[in-house]
Structure 1
């Protein structure tokens, strides 16, 4: 059985945070944190 839901947006843009740090030797490290600002 097929159902048509019509035209809808399936992907919503959400904020992403990029968090960076340095270790003791000064080597940079970066990660992205998805859904950073969704409450």
Structure 2
């Protein structure tokens, strides 16, 4: 919220110590590629 994003913005944590972190990055890339997101933090 301090970044100025609304509280309705979807989020996902990236954990670099397990394969779920890699999946989070892949999901973010897919959302950008499909045009559903311009930026994923």
- TM bucket, shorter chain: under 0.3
- Structure number with bigger Rg: 1
* Structure with greater proportional helix content: 2
* Structure with greater proportional strand content: 1
TM-score, length-scaled by structure 1 = 0.21
